[in-house]
Each structure stands twice: as structure tokens, then as C-alpha cells.
Structure 1
Amino acid sequence: MRVSYGAGAIANGIKNAAFTSYLLFFYTQIIGVPAGIVASAVALTLVVDAIADPLIGRWSDVTRSRWGRRHPFIYGSAAPTALFFLLAWFPPAGLTEFQMGAWIFVTAALTRVSISAFEINTSAMTPEMTQDYRERTRLFGLRWWFGYAGTYGFTTICLLTFFAATPEYPRGQLNPAGYPGFAIAGALAIIVAILICGIGTHKRIPYLRQAEVRAEHMPFGAHLREMGAALRNRAFLAIFGFGVLKYSAIGLYSATTLFFNTYLYKLTGAQLAILTVDSLVAATLAAPLAPVMSAWLGKRMSSMVFAVLGVAIGLTPLLLSINGIFFVPGNPLLVPALFAVGAIYGAMVAISLINTSSMLADVVEDSAVATGRHEAGTFFAASSFMQQCSTAIGIYLAGKLLVWADFPEKPAPGQVTDAMIHDVVGYYVPTTISLWTLGALILFFYPITRAKHEANLAALAAREAQARANELDNIPLGGPSR
């Protein structure tokens, strides 16, 4: 059950790999759409996310069915996610630049709403599966490992197959013929991963928390008021602020990495495939280390420390390269050096991500003490929105960096100069540092410690025991207990 639960994260990992690393590259370098149009189209999907994600989370929280609150959404998301993902890579011929931007916006928005229905509900199951402070970190570690496996395992396979080097395209990521197979394989893997998660966790439905029975229909305004009361939680607001900034930085990294590897380091598809393995190494290190670090430093401090240290290490090769003191393209030590740095950087950032996800699970009980409602769907809808920022804001920022550097669309060989790529790096580094540092500082406002979490559990247990006692007191003499 744990494996199938974690394996569901492969679906979101594949979507993230395709949309953050390849979408901007595909439309600008292969199709020839201006970077500003692609970036703006994807950024506009944030408006859709901001509306759809909270509504999906709330809808899930109040759903009652024979399949519980979460599984109807999990099963229902499989086919739409795969279909809309596939359409994003097959724009109709003959579109104007504006129409192409509209196509990107519609297909990206629909893909993200569909995957949100899945991701929100699988994540929301975690606080219902265990209340243990450290076990939650282990579960999220498992999900993050599978998410990384989806992102980087899928990327590695595609680089070695669909984007393999040919005489005409020694850097296979520039080969237009590789993208149809890439899109079809991604769509199929997404639908399989979602179904594995749904079917594998189906037997847990009777043990998951059900929505409370309401005596009368709630007006829409009442739903909004309850959501607002939950989302005003101080701990949630701290995580949300950190999350929007950190996922935007991750999206910026993902959207620009392929440009750096192609034009700065001049790597082939096979070399890129080797480098994607470093993220799997990072996830394998982070999954067991995250609960250890949270026990040692606390979830909040480990999230802050590893985020800032990891990013500082990750930026080192770029800074050294533009100053002429790193391994040059073709040097046999270039790929091993990038691999080592990527594994260390990735592991540290993954530890931060795992622990902040576990912190969000602890917010569910903290909010329930104040409101009397367990609204995991609402909170993890916000988490889904934060992760979608990695695509929207990240691609938008990457597009702006390319525009500022006068980076060409669909360039001819030799058209991309060293000055252009150095300008992109010059804009990228301070932007990344600012996003991560400001985000980490916001976490100082997160108030839930392990002791606070255990006090919340005790208060909720006492409240539920009192409610059961009151219910028994109100049963007529000889009536059945429920």
C-alpha cells in the first residue's frame, strides 16, 4: 500500500519534468514561438490555479461517497490529465503567435487542473493515514522519492531514446522528431501511475476520515467563509509564503537548466541523461535523511538550513563557468563535476521540500483545534497551487530572462553567443538567491513544534471523546449505540 501510494507521485513528476524543463524549450527552440508569449501564456494559468485548486480541495473535503472523500477525484483525474498533457505537445499547424499562446494557455491550464484533482487528494490522505510526527515525514519522503523518479527517470529514458543523438542533431533535444514520442510516453505513464495509486490505496478507504454529515445544504458563501477561516492559520501562511517563492525558484531552475546545459556546457543528450541520474541519487539520499534531520533540527529549521545551503552549492558551477574557472565543454571532468554538485544540491533541497510537506500535514490538526474541522483537502490544495507556481512563475521568469538577454527563437547554429548565455546566468543567479532566501526567512513565522503538534492531537482526542460521551448520553434507554 505504501509503495502504490508513493508511486502516484510519478504522475506529477512526469508533468513537472515535461512542463518545467521542456515546454519553454520546445515552443521557443523547436516551434519558434517568442519566449515572451510562451512565458505569459503559462503565467496566466496561475489565475486558473488560484480559483480551481481551492475549490477542488474544498469539494473533496465535503464529499461523501462509498469511495470516501479522495478516491472519486483520484480515479476521475486519470484520463483528463493524460489527454490534456498529450494535446499540449501537438499544436495545430498554421496558428498565429497569438493563437499559439492561446493553445499553450488552454492545454497547460487544463492539464494542471486535472493533475491538481489527483495531487491534492493523494496528499490530503497523508494526515489521515498517520498522526505520528515523524512517520508523516517518512511518507512524504517516499512520495518525493517517487516524484523525483518520475521527473528524472522519465527524462533519462527520453534522452536516451526519443532525444538520442543523430548525425543531423548531435544534441537530440533540438530534434523535432523526438517530441511526439516523448508526449505519448508521458501521457501513458501518467495514467498508469494515477491508477496504480488509486487501486493500491482503495482498501484504505474505510479507514480514512469521512466528511461530516450536514443537516442542511450549505450556501456557497458559507463554504468560502470556512475556507477563509482555515487559510488564515498562521502556520499555513508561513508555509504558503515559503512555498510560492521556493517553487518559483525551482521552476526557474528547471526551465533554464536545459538552456545552460545545451548552450553553456554544450552537453549531448547522452550526457544530459547521465546528469538526470544525480537527482535520483539525491532523492535516495534525502528520503531517509529528511526524518533524521527533522528529529535533530526540527522540521522548520531543517527546511530553512538545507534550502539555503543547497542552493548556494547548486549555483557554484554557473558562477565559476562565467568567470572562466570551471571545466570547459569537452573536458572529461565536466560531467562528473556537474553530477556531484547536482546530487548534493538536489539532496539538500529535497530534504527541505520533504520536511515542509510534513509541516503542512501538521497544520491540519492545528487548524482543527481552532475550527473543529479537518480540512486536509483545503490545505493541500494550497500546496498544489504552490507547486504549480514552479511551472507558471518559473517559466515566466525564465522567459523574461531570455528576452532581457536577447536570446533568439529557433536559433541557427552559432547564433547563440557566449555573451547571451552569460547574460542569462547574470540575471538568473541573483533572482534565484533572492527567491530562496526570502522564502526561508518567512518560515521563521511557522509556530508548530513537535510538542505543539502532540498537544494538538491530545486536545482533539479529548474533544472527540467528549463528543462520543455526549452522544451516548443522548441515546434513548435501550437504543443502539452508533
Structure 2
Amino acid sequence: MARNAKVEKKKAEGALPWNERLSYGASDFACSFTFSLIGTYLMYFYTDVFGITAAAVGTLMLVARVVDAFDGPFWGIMIDHTHTKWGKSRPFLLWFNAPFAIFTVLCFTTPNLPMFWKIVWAYVTYIGIDVLYSAVNIPLTSILPSMTENSDERVVLSTIRSLFSNLGGTLISVIALPLVAFFGGGNNRRGFFLLALMAATVFFVIYLIVFSNLKERVQTKQSQKALPIKESLKALKKNWPWVIVIVLNFVYWLGMQAKGQVTIYFFKYNLGRPGLVSFALLFNAIGLISVFLTPRVVIKIGKKNTLLAGLTISVAGQLLMGLGASLLNVPIIIIGTIVGNFGNGFVGALIAVLLADAVDYGEWKNGVRAEGIVTSASSFTAKFGMGIGGAISGLLLSWGHYVPNKTQSASALFAIEANYIWVPMIALILSFVLILFYKLTPDKEREMSTYLTKKHFRERNEE
């Protein structure tokens, strides 16, 4: 009995109050509610509503990735250089709340301009929202290792965040087109603008609440002062868990973005069933089940095996969808969607946890705790992957001679199918191979956690 009491006491250490847990989750609800609108519908909005060619959109997304090569690390360095009464990561949730909301609306604003200036408008607003998304989202990942040292609590927090993220992304994906029709009354330009205004308002209000409720508790000597860039970079030296997770982020999100943003094209042109888009996207919510199960599965088989299982299930789902696409069979496609989303839930729930572990690993291995630079690289690679996925989609559509709002040629239909089925399939298989090389075992995690807990306790007593 005494031993069980000690175990329960240890688990309770670092556990956060529910208002803070829910606020952490709500932060990614807000991010997904707005950025999933952009990821799922902006390409369609550009080509079929605003009137920009698929080739121009693909080029835009490639150029935006060049900017990402600088803005992701920039925000990480800024976080590591920030020291305020609110902490290092938390202030960014307040400072860049309104700018991100404003650019969300601007992305879906359609000024009456010549084609050249339409493209300029798209470049400014898309790159702007991309940079600002890093400013509001990277701090959500960098703040996790500062909220608690408890590994189990981190899994709980990441699970709640993934649940809310999935819910926010699914909700906006399902209601977007009906709301465009409702707000626009047949005018898609007006409908998308008012939808973006609504999403931006939701984001702004939620982020104010999130900023008020989150706290940074894990304070070390390094976290209480600005870290020089050279010192921050030491946290990455031989940090193999970090290398695996950032490459995983790139590959996985490349596939998911390529698939997500052509969903409307696939159902509209390949299947001739545009009315099923919202129905199909509703099944993204299946991932909520696997996200909810993640902490229990991790306890039984570990993080690595949970990721491998999730990716295996996702590949099986894509295979079913490929079969359904070749047969033009909607029920098989829906079943494949359900299976794939169930597997994706495990992956999404654990990526942030692996990043928090990489922060600890950098401090354990190199003596440097740099939450900003370690986690910002992951956000950068995720966005870079999403951008390359978007560029691939645009370039494939251009290669297939896609023409908006017309009956598509065989080559255009193949390009849409490749984006929806085969690009994500390849990305999932590569992600599986990457995780095979992940070597941070549960025993090594416990050794690392014990060392850092003692180190932080000693540092606090020395102050």
C-alpha cells in the first residue's frame, strides 16, 4: 500500500489544474480552426474563386517555403531571447494574436485587381499569415516543457491539445462550405470573406483566454535569462531524437497537406459528388478516438510503438482509399478515410511530446535548455512540409492541365487522385521508416527525467 501511495504521489507531481489543461487544448482548437480553413480551402479559393492559376499558386507556396527557412528559426531565437514577467513563450500568445487574426481575414479578401496585382496580394497575405502562424503556434510547443517536468502530464497535455486541434480542424472543414453558401447567398467571394472574419474572431477571443490561464513553471538558470544564439544551438548537438522528429514533421505534413487541400477537388471532379465534401471531412473527427486512447496505449507499448502502429493503420486507410478511387466507390473511400484518420490521431498526439523530450535530451546531453530553438525547428519543418505539399499539389494540377469549374481531362483527374491518394501514401511509409530509427527508450527517458529533476531542484536551491 505504501509503495502504491508513493507511485500515485509521484504521478501527481507536476499535474496541472484542469482550467490550464483545457486552455492549452483550446489554443490549438483556435489555431486549427483558422489554419485548417487556410490549409483546406485557400488553394481552391485562389483557383476557383479569386481566379489565380494553379501554377501561380504552386509557385507561391514554393516561395513561401523559402521565407519559412528564416521565420521558423527566427521565432525560436526570439523566444530564447525573451525574458518577461509572463515567461519566455507566453508573451507571444498576446503580442501576435491580433495581427494573425487580421491576416486571416486578408487572405480571403478579394480586391478587384488585374491578375498581376491579384498575385501580389496573394503573396503578401499568404506569406504574412504563414509567418504570423509561426509566431502564435511555435510558443504552444515551446511552452510545454516549461509547464511541467512530469512526462505523464506532458502526454496528457499533448493529448488534450491534439483532441482540441482535431476538433477545431474538423469543425471548420465541415461547416466551411455550408457557411460560405449561407453568408454569400451565391456570392462565394463574400461568403469566404465573412467565414474568415468569423474564424478570426473565434481565434482572437480564445487566445486572450489562453494567455490568461497558461503558466511557465519549470524555471532554470538558463530559462530566466536570454540565451545567446551560439549557446542555444548547442542544444541541437548530437540531439538525435530532435533530428528524427523534425524530419518526421516535414514528411508527414507534406503528405497530409497534399491530401487535405485537394479534398474538395477530388469529390467535385473525380467523383462528381461535391455535396459529399463536408460529409467526408466530418470523419476527421475519428482521430479524436485514437487521440483519447493515446496515453493508455503509450503506457502499454511505449511512444515509438504507438507511432508505428498509428502509421501502419494510416497506410492501410490510404490503400483502401486507393481501391475506392480506382473503382469510383464512395463507401470504400469513406471506410478508408475512417481507418486512416484513426491512425493519424496517434501520430498527431505524440509529435509535440517527442519535441518536449528533445528539449530535455538537449539539456541532458549538452547542458543547454533551449525550448525556443528546439521546438521552432519542428514548426518550421511542419510548415515547410505543408508548403511543399501545397506546391506539389499546385504543380501537379498545372501539369495535368486543370481548368477551374470545367469537366476535367484524364490527366487532370489523375493529378487530383495522385495528390489525394498516392503522395500521402508515400509520406506515411517514409514516416514509418523514420520512426524505426527513434532510439529514446522508456528506460533512457526515466534516466534523463531523474537527472533533470535533481538538476533543476539543485539550481533552485542555489538561488
TM range (shorter): 0.7 to 0.9
Structure 1 distance, partners of 2:238, 2:387, is: 24
Superposed CA offset, 1:430-482 (max 9, x none): 3322222122212222221121111112222343455567x4xxxxxxxxxx4
Deviation of the 1:369 alpha carbon: 1.1
Q: 1:274 to 1:423 in 2, by over 3 A?
A: closer
Is 1:348 matched with 2:367?
no
1:398 to 389, 393, 396: 393
Q: What pairs with 1:2-401 in structure 2 (closer than 5 Å)?
A: 2-97=21-116, 99-163=117-181, 175-201=188-214, 204-205=215-216, 207-209=217-219, 212=222, 222-224=228-230, 226-227=232-233, 229-230=235-236, 232-269=238-275, 271-283=276-288, 285-324=289-328, 326-327=329-330, 334=331, 338-401=333-396
AA at the equivalent of 2:260: S
Superposed CA offset, 1:131-154 (max 9, x none): 333332221111111111221112
**Structure number with bigger Rg:** 1
Structure 1 distance, partners of 2:114, 2:84, is: 44
List gaps (5 residues or longer) in structure 1: 328-333, 472-481
What residue number does 1:478 align with? none
Paired residues of 1:60 and 1:69 also in contact (CA < 8 A): yes
Q: 1:69 to 1:211 in 2, by over 3 A?
A: farther
Q: 1:140 to 1:85 in 2, by over 3 A?
A: same
Q: 1:175 to 1:211 in 2, by over 3 A?
A: farther
After TM superposition, the score normalised by the length of structure 1 is 0.85
Structure 2 distance, partners of 1:363, 1:354, is: 16
What residue number does 1:331 align with? none
Deviation of the 1:229 alpha carbon: 4.4
Paired residues of 2:30 and 2:202 also in contact (CA < 8 A): yes
Deviation of the 1:312 alpha carbon: 2.8
Q: 1:468 to 1:419 in 2, by over 3 A?
A: closer
List gaps (5 residues or longer) in structure 2: 1-19
How much is the aligned-residue C-alpha RMSD, in angstroms? 2.6
User: What's the secondary structure of 1:8's corresponding residue?
Assistant: helix
Superposed CA offset, 1:370-400 (max 9, x none): 2222222222212211331353112101112
Q: Percent identity?
A: 22
AA at the equivalent of 2:343: M
Deviation of the 1:419 alpha carbon: 5.5
User: What's the secondary structure of 1:161's corresponding residue?
Assistant: helix
AA at the equivalent of 1:151: G
After TM superposition, the score normalised by the length of structure 2 is 0.88
What residue number does 1:432 align with? 424
AA at the equivalent of 2:81: V
Deviation of the 1:164 alpha carbon: 5.3
Deviation of the 1:107 alpha carbon: 1.2
What residue number does 2:9 align with? none
Deviation of the 1:323 alpha carbon: 3.6
Superposed CA offset, 1:159-187 (max 9, x none): 33223599x96xxxx94442121221121
Paired residues of 2:108 and 2:193 also in contact (CA < 8 A): yes
Q: 1:256 to 1:213 in 2, by over 3 A?
A: closer
Q: How many residues align?
A: 444
Structure 2 distance, partners of 1:275, 1:213, is: 45
Deviation of the 1:51 alpha carbon: 1.0
Deviation of the 1:76 alpha carbon: 0.6
